[in-house]
Structure 1
Amino acid sequence: MRACYKSGDFQKYFKENMNALGLPVPSELFSSFNTAVANAALMVEALKTLGPNATMAELVRATSGLEKLKVTAALGASYYVGGVVGSISVATGRSLGCGQRLSDAFLFLSQYNLDTKVLRDTFISSPELLSGPKRLPPMMYSKVKLS
């Protein structure tokens, strides 16, 4: 990593970006770059199986180790996972002192085997996920199926 990186920067920037997006962030799941990428990979794999209309409740049920994400149950999984991956990308860029562009996010997805059509489409339709700390328009929620 470049000289501008300080230990703890990644978690600080990740949490800052997620908070700016209005998305809850259990710090244990995203405490470091490696932990965040590993948990994002679990979410992406589940999302590939569940499809773009899945809720986070469905994603949490389909995985193990992500139980702390139950607070996100009503959110659309593709939106939340897009927020996580976008925040990893933003935090990585900010930790290294670099800027962030959509092309950087797509390169990041490819480099860490997180690339899916769902996430690319989510970033294209919701570029605010990559914009860093700013206030967002109202959150996108999936309709929760009550049965």
Structure 2
Amino acid sequence: MANFDKFFDYFRENMEALNLPAPKEMYGNVTLALGSVTALEMYIQKYGSKVTVRELLGAGLRADKLVTLGAMQASYYLGAVIGSLGVATARCMGNGLTLSEILFSASHAGVNTARVAGHLARHPEIYDSRMPSRSNYAARAIA
């Protein structure tokens, strides 16, 4: 049986491995995380895939801890969040983790767009801790 008590710990651990912040007020539990993913996706749909996290903060996204991301493209951050959501969920459920499981979870949450699927396929370091490029993920997102 699934135990989601450590969801945020697993989520934060994966985001930190990608050198990205994971504010507890946005991702503290599954419900908050799904709401935050939906909000990020909504802003990206509204402002385009090249919008930066700084621009989203100016547009009304509430998360002071994300200000450190600045010029990072929001779609890059969203990809990491969805991947980390999949990692944390899989760890809570005690299952293995595959890209198809992450995309299924994203689809179930209503955020599995072609852009998200393509990003996750191009960047397996988001959800696979064995990838050597994992620690450089955030650095590549700065435009």
Answer whether TM exceeds 0.5 for this pair: yes
| Matched residue type, 2:48 | G
Q: Is the 8 A contact 1:106 1:115 kept in 2?
A: yes
Contact 1:106/1:120 (8 A) holds in 2: yes
Deviation beyond 3 Å, 4+ runs, structure 1: 132-135
Contact 2:18 2:135 survives alignment (8 Å): no
Q: Aligned AA for 1:112?
A: A
Aligned position for 1:142: 142
User: 2:77, 2:125 → 1: CA distance?
Assistant: 12
Matched, 1:80 2:77: yes
**Contact persistence 1:42–1:63 (CA under 8 A):** no
**Percent of pairs with identical residues:** 30
Match of 1:114 in 2: 111
1:62-101 paired onto structure 2 within 5 Å: 62-101=59-98
1:39 matched to 2:36? The reply is yes
- Give, in whole Å, the separation in 2 of the partners of 1:48 and 1:96: 31
What is the CA-CA distance between 1:134 and the residue it aligns to?
A: 6.2
SS of 2:20 mapped into structure 1: coil
- The one-letter amino acid paired with 2:111 is L
Name the structure where helix makes up a greater proportion of residues: 2
